[in-house]
Copies of this chain bind each other. A is one copy, B any other.
């Protein structure tokens, strides 16, 4: 662990490419070329090869995004405000790629590591949403977190297919409208 940079560079490059093209859509050679890291280094840091790299990259980018999620909610006065901020953020990032979970789930058939990494990221995000819902005084934070995770993932799929953040803007509108009705 003396050299964080090579390992982290691989994680960042790999997760970028996986999110853009999907796990099976990216070859190791492409990751190596983009990162400038030779093959020997990859197999030194990830002896399990592509599958281990894929699982690690998924968890890594999952953690990065979760920290952004936390920040969005911490600077918001209500849960709805936090969700609106999050939608704006994810909308701006549509061009950077799809949801990291979506990028690896279908490759879970080949290697259980990948499916497990995807599950773990979803669980973390759900727990994170639940905690903020509870903190901001929402009733039934468990169900609210589940429902919003669903809507976020769905918006991400649609936005990726359309290549533009329209779906996230729509979701943002829905949430604000629902809040107005509740007041």
Chain A residues engaging chain B, CB cutoff 8 angstroms: 20-25, 98-99, 101-103, 105-110, 115, 118-119, 122, 143, 146-147, 149-155, 157-158, 160-163, 167, 170-171, 174
Q: Is the CB of A119 within 8 A of B162?
A: yes
Q: Shortest distance in angstroms between A59's beta carbon and chain B's nearest beta carbon?
A: 13
- Copy number in the complex reads 2
Q: Please name the residue on chain B nearest to A160 by beta carbon.
A: B105
Chain A binding surface SS class: helix
Task: Give the complex CA separation of A115 and B98 in angstroms.
Answer: 13
Q: Is the CB of A167 within 8 A of B154?
A: no
A25-B110, A153-B157 known; 11 new pairs, CB 8 Å cut-off, are A20-B106, A20-B109, A21-B106, A22-B107, A101-B161, A105-B157, A105-B161, A143-B174, A149-B154, A151-B154, A154-B154
Residues of B within 8 A of A105 (CB): 98, 157, 160-161
Q: Shortest distance in angstroms between A81's beta carbon and chain B's nearest beta carbon?
A: 19
